[in-house]
Amino acid sequence: DDDRGRQGITTTDVSSKQHGYSSGPYCNDFGGTSSATPLAAGIAALVLYANPTLTWEEVGTILKETADKIGGSGARYRKGYSLQYGFGRVNAEAAVAAALSRKAKADTRGGAATKKR
């Protein structure tokens, strides 16, 4: 098994012996859903902070539409989705910009309407 091409996130690791991913206080191969889920949740929180009037469906749409498509032509995206990469890599900057853009459009239409959640 050759993991040299695998991308991961550098993060702190469990400091007790035999319990972490590496022998030191950090590991650089933390990946998959274990790292993607808290990252996506954090970006969703940023999106809501930028535009608190968004519904959860709108936040999900923004995350999907602003994700960076990865994997090249082999990823085979159809309607924005790839069986291998999902909607792609979340992009915090693009997602927050989209949330702010929606807020600005609502403000120019006479104020943001209060939505039922």
pLDDT attached to residue 113: 53
More confident position, 8 or 66: 66
Mean pLDDT of 68-92: 93
Q: Which phi-psi region, left, alpha or beta, contains residue 86 (left: φ > 0; alpha: ψ -120 to 50)?
A: left
How do 9-12 and 26-30 pair as beta strands?
Answer: antiparallel
The radius of gyration of the chain from alpha carbons, rounded to an integer in Å, stands at 18
Mean pLDDT (the chain) is: 84
For 60-100, what is the HEC assignment?
HHHHHHHCECCCHHHHCCECCEECCCECCECCHHHHHHHHH
Task: Name beta bridge partners: 86.
Answer: 82
Mean pLDDT of 25-47: 85
- What confidence tens digit (pLDDT) does each residue in 39-76 have? 999 999 999 999 999 999 999 999 999 999 999 989 99
Confidence (pTM)? 0.72
